[in-house]
């Protein structure tokens, strides 16, 4: 008997083992039939449970056709509408222009939000080197034992 089995399961197994020891042949055949039926029911439940977890619920086909305005996206994402317009114009957010109106597909917006790996303005950030107090671009090493700053080699 498995020591990791829970108490009710262990009690059932002990009762089955006692039945097997005292049963005659026709009772054993009947018991095997019941065990096979129970085994099938357990497998069916396992497969049904595993399948239910793996398959996502069916998507609404109309969901792919639904579009939002930049104002709706701005309210949803807590951004300014003008900024969402700029994201549409620069192609950083999936959008389609129809006349003077922008249409942002809900499915595209979800993908953009899910797979966006960086900040919205990551490409426009300027990288500046800081200067030390002397105005040159060399780094200053920590103060030496005499309290004076030492110059680090130019990198």
Q: pTM higher than 0.75 for the full model?
A: no
3-state helix, strand, coil in the chain (%, to 5): 55, 10, 35
* Mean pLDDT of the region 49-59: 68
Query: 146: which strand partners?
Result: none
Give residue-wise pLDDT tens across range 75-114. Answer: 989 999 999 999 999 988 999 998 999 999 988 888 888 8
- Mean pLDDT for all residues in the chain: 77
What is the mean pLDDT of the segment spanning 11-32? 90
- Identify any residues that bridge with 143 across adjacent strands, giving them in sequence order: 149
For 76-95, letters b (16+ CB in 10 Å) and e give eeeeeeeebbebbeeebbeb
Confidence of residue 7 (pLDDT cuts 50, 70, 90): confident
């Amino acid at each position: 008997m498995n020591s990791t089995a829970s108490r009710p399961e262990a009690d059932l197994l002990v009762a089955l083992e006692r039945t097997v020891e005292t049963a005659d042949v026709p009772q054993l055949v009947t018991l095997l039939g019941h065990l096979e039926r129970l085994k099938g029911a357990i497998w069916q439940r396992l497969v049904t449970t595993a399948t239910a977890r793996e398959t996502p619920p069916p998507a609404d086909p109309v969901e792919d056709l639904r579009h939002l305005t930049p104002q709706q996206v701005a309210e949803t994402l807590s951004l300014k509408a003008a900024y969402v317009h700029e994201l549409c114009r620069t192609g950083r957010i999936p959008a389609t222009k129809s006349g003077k109106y922008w249409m942002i597909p809900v499915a595209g917006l979800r993908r953009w939000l899910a797979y966006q790996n960086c900040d919205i303005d990551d490409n426009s950030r300027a990288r500046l080197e800081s200067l030390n107090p002397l105005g040159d671009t060399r780094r200053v090493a920590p103060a030496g034992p005499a309290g004076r700053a030492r110059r680090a080699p130019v990198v």
